[in-house]
């Protein structure tokens, strides 16, 4: 970036080279003149008188050629050869390559700019490679775990000595593992499509309060089973212009996290308020909470801070939520305290009412 602000020299040969050549040639022609005078004084034969200046100028030409060759080598060949070596290392998968510029940052020329861009490119490639490797190891891990569960339980079922109760337990475990696998694939595909912008939000006007109620009701079984007190504090009707289907994924993920990370007897609260500019939805819980270090990573793909719940889910929920909100011009913030609970707050732009809607 700095290379854009600092003026970049367009030539690798400094103007001083012209002065050097001029002075050298001036000196050489002076010596040539002296040589002619010397040869004349000695009265040497005409052949010698011709050969001596020729040899002299041949040596001058040789000297200048060697000097120019040295300059070209220093300015072009050595940096280009080093760059070729560095490029070859990158081509063979070594992304730790760093190639220093030949000039200091205040005297950059176009070759230095190329080197800076090359370093940037290698750094970028390296981080993409790390992401790719991490992604594959995460996906493999997430697939391997439920597959091992399915395999073990299927093997158990093959043995005939199991009671009906045990068989039921085995099939339930298998079903749970397949559901987890299916969720993983669905979320991965969804996230991939959202990241590639293959899914473009299709905004339309709808009542966000009704949507929140509908999403919350999906968790009725869970809050009853876990004896969680669920509180909702919503306005009657607030219209927003957004992609309804994508926003439903946001609320479902936030509520599912709140239910999952809140122990039996805890409280989960869903709040919604609005003003002229925005609609704010909060999901708060009295669950395990998170420390600052965990909070930093919760939007990373496959990150699961609380290992005691890692068998439930794959750590893709909040990555999806964040991507959807980016696409819907929304903002998500989180406040959490270990042992006390967590509050996720989502802010969406308000729908600008026109006269028809007010009727």
Ligand X SMILES: Nc1ncnc2c1ncn2[C@@H]1O[C@H](COP(=O)(O)OP(=O)(O)OP(=O)(O)O)[C@@H](O)[C@H]1O
Q: Does residue 257 belong to the site contacting ligand X (CB under 6 A)? A: yes
Tokens representing 102 are 């030949």
Q: Which CB, 199 or 316, lies closer to ligand X?
A: 316
Considering CB distances under 5 to 8 angstroms, the limit depending on partner class, which of Mg ion, ligand X, none binds residue 298? ligand X
CB of 146 to ligand X, least distance (A): 13
258 binds ligand X (CB under 6 A): yes
Task: CB nearer to ligand X: give 79 or 146.
Answer: 146
- Per-residue mark of binding to ligand X, 129-168 (x: CB under 6 A): ----------------------------------------
Please state the φ and ψ torsions of residue 202, each to the nearest 5 degrees.
-110, 90
Which positions from 300 through 339 interact with ligand X, judged by CB under 6 A? 303-306, 313-319
Rounded to a whole number of angstroms, the minimum distance from the CB of residue 176 to ligand X is 13
Cβ(249)–Cβ(313) below 8 Å? no
Q: Where in 219-258 is the site for Mg ion (CB under 5 A)?
A: 257
Pairing of strands 229-233, 267-274: parallel
Footprint (CB under 5 A) of Mg ion, residues 1-30: none
What residues have CB less than 8 Å from 166, skipping those under 6 apart?
156
Token pair 């034969």 in the structure block, residue = 45
Q: Does 253 bind ligand X (CB under 6 A)?
A: yes
Contacted by 305, from Mg ion, ligand X, none: CB < 5 to 8 Å by type:
ligand X
Tokens describing residue 178: 């397949």
| Smallest separation (angstroms) from ligand X to the CB of 171 | 22
Q: Classify 13 as helix, strand or coil.
A: coil
If one asks whether residue 317 binds Mg ion (CB under 5 A), the answer comes out as yes
CB closer to ligand X, 206 vs 303: 303
- In order of 31, 37, 56, 62, the CA distances from 52 in angstroms are 12, 12, 6, 15
Q: 114 has which bridge partners? A: none
The distance of Cα 343 from the centroid of its chain, to the nearest Å, equals 26
- Eight-class DSSP state of 92: T
Closest distance of CB 310 from ligand X, Å: 7
Q: Which among 21-29, 146-154, 237-245, 308-316 is the span making contact with Mg ion, rule CB under 5 A? A: 308-316
* CA–CA gap between residue 339 and residue 286 (Å, rounded): 8
Residue ranges of the alpha helices (H) in the chain? Answer: 2-5, 16-42, 46-72, 78-91, 110-158, 164-195, 208-217, 220-225, 244-260, 292-297, 317-327, 355-358
212/258 with CB nearer Mg ion: 258
Contact positions vs ligand X (CB under 6 A):
187, 253, 257-258, 261, 285, 287-290, 294, 298, 303-306, 313-319, 342
């Amino acid at each position: 970036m700095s290379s854009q602000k600092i003026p970049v020299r367009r030539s690798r040969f400094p103007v001083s080279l012209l002065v050097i050549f001029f002075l050298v040639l001036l000196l050489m022609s002076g010596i040539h003149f002296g040589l002619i005078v010397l040869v004349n004084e000695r009265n040497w034969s005409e052949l010698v008188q011709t050969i001596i200046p020729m040899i002299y100028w041949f040596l001058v030409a040789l000297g200048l050629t060697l000097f120019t060759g040295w300059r070209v080598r220093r300015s072009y060949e050595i940096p280009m050869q080093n760059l070729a070596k560095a490029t070859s290392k990158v081509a063979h998968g070594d992304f730790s390559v760093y190639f220093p510029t030949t000039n200091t940052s205040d005297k950059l020329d176009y070759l230095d700019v190329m080197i800076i861009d090359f370093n940037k490119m290698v750094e970028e490639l390296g981080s993409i490679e790390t992401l790719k490797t991490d992604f594959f190891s995460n996906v493999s891990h997430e697939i391997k775990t439920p597959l091992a569960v399915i395999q073990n339980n299927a093997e158990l079922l093959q043995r005939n000595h199991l009671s009906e109760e045990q068989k039921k337990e085995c099939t339930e475990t298998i079903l749970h593992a397949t559901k987890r696998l299916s969720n993983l694939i669905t979320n991965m595909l969804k996230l991939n499509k959202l990241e590639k912008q293959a899914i473009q939000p299709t905004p339309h006007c709808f009542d966000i309060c009704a949507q929140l109620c509908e999403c919350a009701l999906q968790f009725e079984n869970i809050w009853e089973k876990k004896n969680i007190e669920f509180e909702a504090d919503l306005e009657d009707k607030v219209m927003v212009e957004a992609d309804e289907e994508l926003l439903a994924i946001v609320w479902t993920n936030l509520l599912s996290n709140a239910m999952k990370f809140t122990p039996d007897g805890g409280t989960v609260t869903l709040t919604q308020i609005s003003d002229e500019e925005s609609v704010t939805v909060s999901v708060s819980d009295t669950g395990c909470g998170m420390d600052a270090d965990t909070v930093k990573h919760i939007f990373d793909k496959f990150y699961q801070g609380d290992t005691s719940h890692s068998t439930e889910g794959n750590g893709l929920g909040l990555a999806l939520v964040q991507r959807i909100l980016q696409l819907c011009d929304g903002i998500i913030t989180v406040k959490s305290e270990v042992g006390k609970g967590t509050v996720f707050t989502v802010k969406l732009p308000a729908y600008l009412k026109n006269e028809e809607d007010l009727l």
